[in-house]
Chain A
Amino acid sequence: KQEVTQIPAALSVPEGENLVLNCSFTDSAIYNLQWFRQDPGKGLTSLLLIQSSQREQTSGRLNASLDKSSGRSTLYIAASQPGDSATYLCAVRPGSNTGKLIFGQGTTLQVKP
């Protein structure tokens, strides 16, 4: 059974810091891995999707990497800003054709001005 873990559960950093969020999964047979952002009381915003054959994806100040063999992904946020404060969720799509996403518990990030 696929399990997804995110560490740390919460993180507080001063503005301007570069930071890394971690995601690990137990079964390396995945279609893709997706990183989302969720603001309080809101839905999920897709940030980056890494296909199983890819090693990383970049969008602006965000860079996500994938090491499928070791069951790990990281989300790197450069030059953090207070507007980056949110909960970040990673989700894996298992090695089947269901479209089902299995989510980690999330990392709640606070960036202090």
Chain B
Amino acid sequence: DTEVTQTPKHLVMGMTNKKSLKCEQHMGHRAMYWYKQKAKKPPELMFVYSYEKLSINESVPSRFSPECPNSSLLNLHLHALQPEDSALYLCASSQELGQGNQPQHFGDGTRLSIL
């Protein structure tokens, strides 16, 4: 069982909808990440949070809005998405950004489909 929990597992939404993806970890990790993975492609980094502050935004369109309300929780708010945004969205966590010997732990992802 994964120690990073993502909900929902599947989400279908229209282009005008507003929805949120949720990610939770209780390992005491202080770095959290959002990745996007298209079919048969490797994950691509979107955002990195360190100690609840946004550390990296990989030039992600503003229709994706991350939020880290506390050290255990990471949200990704979605609004006015496009069909090409359909993908598997993965959340990951690690102990701290500055520790190069700690692995990132991934959740099972949210499969997002935009109609």
Where the two chains meet, the residues of A that have a C-beta atom closer than 8 Å to any C-beta of B are 31-32, 34, 36, 41-46, 49, 51-52, 89, 91, 93, 97-101, 103-106
Contact = CB atoms under 8 A, between A and B. Distances in A.
B55 interface: yes
Nearest to B33: A99
Contacts of A103: 42-44
B79 to A, nearest CB: 24
13 contacts: A43-B2, A43-B6, A43-B107, A44-B90, A45-B2, A51-B100, A51-B101, A99-B33, A99-B50, A99-B94, A100-B48, A100-B56, A101-B45
Interface residues of B, number: 31
Given A32-B100, A49-B103, A99-B50, A44 B56 contact: no
Contact of A105 (B41, B55, B56, B102): B41
A97 B90 contact: no
B104 interface: yes
Contacts of A101: 43, 45, 104
A94 B59 CA distance: 18
B3 to A, nearest CB: 11
A3 to B, nearest CB: 12
